[in-house]
Amino acid sequence: MVDIGGARMINVGDQVEESIFWIDRGVLKRYADASGDQNPIHQDEAFAISVGLPNVIAHGMLTMALVGKFVSDWAGGSAKVKEFSTRFAKPVIVPAGEKVDLTVSATVSAITENGIELNILATSKGVKVLGLTKALVAKS
């Protein structure tokens, strides 16, 4: 058991409260403009389908960034996130006129002298979109 920031006691096996991020085409456009990633698979439905995708997809780095926000919010700030890794498993599909979920949860998998280890689950519409997602967070 460890006390992080004097506010909460953390144990191995604890579940981190789930967060849901909502993604729609407007979010994709704003992310594309901010990041400079104007790849048409993220904005042009006809193009996305023409290259074999089911529809427009969210930027993988947007998906990863939202999961990173989940971790840094739980940790009490980005400076406390010591490590963060993931693999892209499936795209987040964003049909026109819809808001789709990116649902993120985590489990405390270990507490070591290096910090608190989290195993993270990220899904959209019940489909796992990131795999092997882990974080190491400073204890204080």
Q: Which domains does the chain have, with CATH numbers?
A: 2-24+57-137 (3.10.129.10)
Q: Alpha helix (H) ranges present in the chain?
A: 25-35, 45-50, 60-75
State the pLDDT at residue 2. Answer: 54
pLDDT tens, position by position, 85-138 = 999 999 999 999 999 999 999 999 999 999 999 999 999 999 999 999 999 999
Residue labelled with tokens 């974080």: 135
> Residue 7: pLDDT above 70?
no
